Amino acid sequence: MKKEETTEHQILDAAKDVFQSKGMDGARMQEIADKAGINKAMLHYYYRSKQLLFEAVFKNAFSLLAPQLNAILNDDSSIEDKIIKFTSDYTSFMMKHPYLPNFIINELNRNEDFILKLKDNTGFPNLEKFKIKVDSEIKEGILKPIDADQLFVNILALNIFPFLGKPLVKALTKKDEKAYKAFVESRKVEVAHFIINAIKTPKG
């Protein structure tokens, strides 16, 4: 039997659906069982409790996101190239996993201690290399002076917010689903230009 067909995996799959769209508090064990096509008791047989099943889903989700962040932080290209690549890759990734950012942001807010467990894990994004690169490009005169933390948060903000605040963005800019998708798609390049304009010293 393939791994995707085992009961344990089917549960995790169904749990992902339900937890990510309804959150820990809104999710119901019965709904997860129904979606997985199995008896509710099986959830406890494999994952013991709602909390543990939730944590399995959460860690899984975060382990999907972390490499996206590490990609920009740990390669050796210029800051400009990092931004161009990240903005495009991250937006594509989010379009495939629309529930992910809200789910993670939300549950981290609901339980601040939760992030401590992740921090210890290897693979938790580290900004050191990025900071060094930013500072060196500033010294070289390629970039205008800017704090690397601020720049990183700006990059994240511009890329993540349109997904976090999708309903708000749609309502404010009066876009239907189709127009919203086109809007986000065009951000793949727009956002990179925007950031680079903001931080690059004029040539000459």
Partner DNA sequence: AATGAGTTTAACCAAATGGTTGACAAAGCT
Partner DNA sequence: AGCTTTGTCAACCATTTGGTTAAACTCATT
Residue from 4, 14, 20, 27 touching DNA (CB under 7 A): that is 27
Tell which one of 95, 127, 132, 181 touches a copy of itself (CB under 8 A).
Answer: 127
Token readout for 49 is 């409790």
Instruction: Please work out the total of residues on this chain that contact DNA, with binding judged by CB under 7 A.
Output: 16
Cα–Cα distance measured from residue 10 to residue 7, given in angstroms and rounded to the nearest whole number: 5
Nearer to DNA, 52 or 189 (CB): 52
**Interaction between residue 191 and a copy of itself (CB under 8 A):** yes
Verify binding: residue 161, DNA, rule CB under 7 A: no
Show the binding pattern over residues 132-171: x = contacts a copy of itself (CB under 8 A), - = does not: ------------x-xx-xx-xxx-xxx-xxx-xxxxxxxx
- How far apart (Å, rounded) are the C-alpha atoms in residues 190 and 204? 24
Is position 22 an interface residue for DNA (rule: CB under 7 A)? no
Q: What is the DSSP letter of 56?
A: H
Sign of CA dihedral 59, 64, 65, 71: positive
Which tokens belong to 59? 């860690």
Task: Considering only residues 52 through 91, tell me which ones interact with a copy of itself, judged by CB under 8 A.
Answer: 69
Q: How far apart (Å, rounded) are the C-alpha atoms in residues 33 and 53?
A: 12
Residues 43-102 interacting with DNA (rule: CB under 7 A): 44-45, 48-51
- Distance between CA atoms of 177 and 179, rounded to whole angstroms? 6
Among 105, 129, 132, 139, interactor with a copy of itself by CB under 8 A: 105
